Amino acid sequence: MARKAKTQQDEIFTLRLQRSAPDLWPMLEALYGSHPDYTGFCDRLLTALHSAWAARPADLRRLDLHRDLEPDWFQRPDRAGYVFYIDRFAGSLRNVLDKLDYLQELGITYVHLMPCLKPRPGDSDGGYSVMDYRAINPDLGTMEDLEQVASALRDRGMNLCIDLVLNHTAKEHAWAEAARAGDPAYQDYYLMFDSPELPNRFEETLVEVFPDNAPGNFTHDPSTDKWVWTTFNDHQWDLNWANPQVFLEVTEIMLFLANRGVDVLRLDAVAFMWKRMGTRCQSEPEVHMLLQALRACCRIACPAVLHLEEAIVAPAEMLPYLGRGRHDGKEGNLAYHNSLMVQFWNALATRDTRMMTHVLRTHFPATLTNATYATYIRCHDDIGWAITDEDAGVFGISGPAHRAWLADFYEGQAPGSFARGRLFQENPLTGDKRISGSFAALAGLEKAVNEGDGPAAETAVQRILLGHALIASFGGIPLIYMGDELAMLNDHSYLSVPEHAHDSRWVHRPRMDWALAAAREGDSPSARCFQGLRHILAHRRAVAELHGGVPTVVLVPPVPGLFAVARRGPARTVLCLFNFTDGWLHVPEGWLRAEGMQQLYDELSEAQVTLHDGGLSLPPQGRVWLV
Ligand code: GLC
């Protein structure tokens, strides 16, 4: 009996290997084929895949089968994510269990625990400087706790996402320690140079990620007297992905975490994984080959697991992370829709939706294969004003000037600004200024509260709900960043924490305000945001056309200041309309009819729409999902 079961499991493995072999081996051959130990590497990889499958718990294998049968599970409109730092939200991993009712009440079905693997001591870039990928940060709990959280989530039909940093390790990681001790095999895990000559040549075309507090892309390591590639902070050593051993090690880690019950691996900073002299060393073709190969490994040994690729880059550069061209359907299942986020803020500040419409219409396809966006308005990072000079040029404005104006606006400096953000990493060389700040602070609530301005607070609430309704209907998994469901304001206490004071991103990484949460049925701005979001997510679940696989067609709106998206399902179209202005908009009936709207029923408010003067009147910051 047992033998029969084993044979069956082996057969499933073999079939999955056959399925994904064409996605895997050609990539590895192209990346590593000329390496002297290529054959040995392939054998070891196959063994690693097989051992991971053999060790995969029975309930997760069942999930694998389930998701093989329902591959669109993550695109369905019942998926909605919530992202938080474990300590700031719940204190510890175990305490997360007590908070699941709260999340479920909000309509959350996907939980992203911000970095929870063991970080280096002291400043760890919010946990993105990992010294042990097989251990949980001891301040948060243990690997057993993580497994318990994973299984509690599974019991509730919720998914677990955790971060896996692929571009770098902490300099305290065992591999880096061995490299520092002089072991050449481990030195080859990183990019270490004997003299500054090559680093200087690379620098000519590299950009600065943290120009303020970590300028330059290389750090001199005194113990080896070598220059180490450190794109981010000096304690984050970039991995050498040209070394097949790095691929093997990371795959083993990925499968290890998958077998703990993780559903989604958020692959951090993937754009930087491949270096090429004379380029920005971002989004090189090899990055996509690596990511397709890593994806294939999961499809073979743990197909229930998805990849969320974090690449915060220009629109045209971002799409390939969801698989374009020869990688179509084979790369990331999810990637952040950074442009949607930037364009939301752009339209909110300008009250003009033309650039938003142009960018989202021309740079993004209506459908993706086996993939969907992670849609969001705020995350734990800063906002970079990713608007290209070309896109600004279409409207006759200067890219640099517009980006600078947006930064000033959201810092609260430009005339008429409602926002209260903080500068992040101003680069005097390029003039680039990024912005930190919570959703509510950037949307005007902080200023309104400080000034005791009731009507302005109401407008801010409507801006926040406009954003939530947008990311819930555009197509993709909407991700709510902790506190934004309650319109939490900026937290300036980071300035007195030595390892955070240099990094203004901590202004929007507050501790969860459970007192505010307890008052969520009231009528404060924060309670109304909570109730509004809960309503949006509940209605999203009920509208089949909001499935990620249903085409998202961005329309040219009939009136300025309106943003219009048609979700064209097989049976009917849902027309999602958003008013980005501070006045009423009049949407002509003729246009609505021409877009196929027969009943004029709003799925969001569950009400029939009454027309006035031959059109639909949409209040300031109003939004409807019409059928
Ligand atoms: C990602 C993270 C960011 C971190 C960086 C380096 O961009 O989101 O918080 O600083 O990677 O790991």
Superfamily covering domain 174-238 = Oligo-1,6-glucosidase; Domain 2 (3.90.400.10)
Mean pLDDT of 234-261: 98
pLDDT at residue 598, as a whole number: 86
| CA–centroid distance, residue 241 to ligand 1 (Å) | 18
Q: What are phi and psi of 181, to 5 degrees?
A: -75, -5
Atom of ligand 1 at shortest distance to CA of 126? 9
Of 382, 396, 309, 397, the residue nearest 345 (C-alpha): 382
Check if 126 has its Cβ closer than 6 Å to any atom of ligand 1: yes
Q: Is 268 a catalytic residue?
A: yes
Mean pLDDT of 131-146: 98
CATH of domain 552-626: 2.60.40.1180
Residue nearest to atom 3 of ligand 1 (CA): 381
Atom of ligand 1 at shortest distance to CA of 233? 6
**CA–CA separation, 317 and 44 (whole Å):** 33
Does residue 57 have a pLDDT over 80?
yes
pLDDT at residue 232, as a whole number: 96
Of 560, 563, 553, 379, the residue nearest 469 (C-alpha): 563
| CA–centroid distance, residue 312 to ligand 1 (Å) | 10
Does residue 293 have a pLDDT over 80?
yes
Sign of the torsion formed by the C-alpha atoms of 302, 303, 306 and 307? positive
Does residue 346 have a pLDDT over 70?
yes
Contact 253, 135 (CB under 8 A): no
Check if 232 has its Cβ closer than 6 Å to any atom of ligand 1: yes
β-bridge pairing 117-119 and 573-579: unpaired
Does residue 279 have a pLDDT over 70?
yes
Check if 261 has its Cβ closer than 6 Å to any atom of ligand 1: no
Mean pLDDT of 465-482: 98
**CA–CA separation, 554 and 546 (whole Å):** 14
| CA–centroid distance, residue 268 to ligand 1 (Å) | 7
**CA–CA separation, 440 and 197 (whole Å):** 47
Does residue 588 have a pLDDT over 90?
yes
Check if 381 has its Cβ closer than 6 Å to any atom of ligand 1: yes
b/e sequence 323-354, b meaning 16+ C-beta within 10 Å: bbeebeebbbbbbbbbbbbbbbbbbbbbebbb
Check if 125 has its Cβ closer than 6 Å to any atom of ligand 1: yes
Q: What is the pLDDT of residues 358-387, one digit of tens each?
A: 999 999 999 999 999 999 999 999 999 999
Residue nearest to atom 11 of ligand 1 (CA): 269
Q: Which pTM value belongs to this model?
A: 0.96
Catalytic residue among 310, 382, 408, 432: 310
pLDDT at residue 564, as a whole number: 98
Average pLDDT score over the chain:
97
Mean pLDDT of 423-432: 88
Question: Counting every residue, how long is the chain?
Answer: 627
Q: Which run of H or of E encompasses 58?
A: helix 58-69
Model confidence band, residue 489 (pLDDT cutoffs 50, 70, 90): very high
Does residue 1 have a pLDDT over 70?
no
pLDDT, greater one: 137 or 610 = 137
Dihedral, CA atoms, 377, 378, 382, 387, nearest 10 degrees? 0
Which part of the chain is CATH 2.60.40.1180?
552-626
Which part of the chain is CATH 3.90.400.10?
174-238
Sign of the torsion formed by the C-alpha atoms of 105, 108, 137 and 56? positive
pLDDT at residue 558, as a whole number: 96
β-bridge pairing 159-165 and 168-170: unpaired
pLDDT at residue 51, as a whole number: 97
Of 448, 419, 459, the residue nearest 436 (C-alpha): 419
Check if 241 has its Cβ closer than 6 Å to any atom of ligand 1: no
Dihedral, CA atoms, 389, 395, 400, 405, nearest 10 degrees? -150
| CA–centroid distance, residue 463 to ligand 1 (Å) | 27
Contact 244, 234 (CB under 8 A): no
388-394: long-range contacts, CB 8 A cutoff, minimum separation 24 = 388/314, 388/315, 391/315, 391/355, 391/358, 391/359, 392/355, 394/355, 394/358
Residue nearest to atom 12 of ligand 1 (CA): 128
Give first-to-last CA distance, the chain, whole Å.
55
Q: What is the pLDDT of residues 517-561, one digit of tens each?
A: 999 999 999 999 999 999 999 999 999 999 999 999 999 999 999
pLDDT at residue 209, as a whole number: 87
Check if 128 has its Cβ closer than 6 Å to any atom of ligand 1: yes
Q: Is 43 a catalytic residue?
A: no
Share of the chain above pLDDT 90, in %: 94
pLDDT at residue 4, as a whole number: 87
Atom of ligand 1 at shortest distance to CA of 379? 8
Check if 379 has its Cβ closer than 6 Å to any atom of ligand 1: no
Check if 165 has its Cβ closer than 6 Å to any atom of ligand 1: yes
Residue nearest to atom 4 of ligand 1 (CA): 128
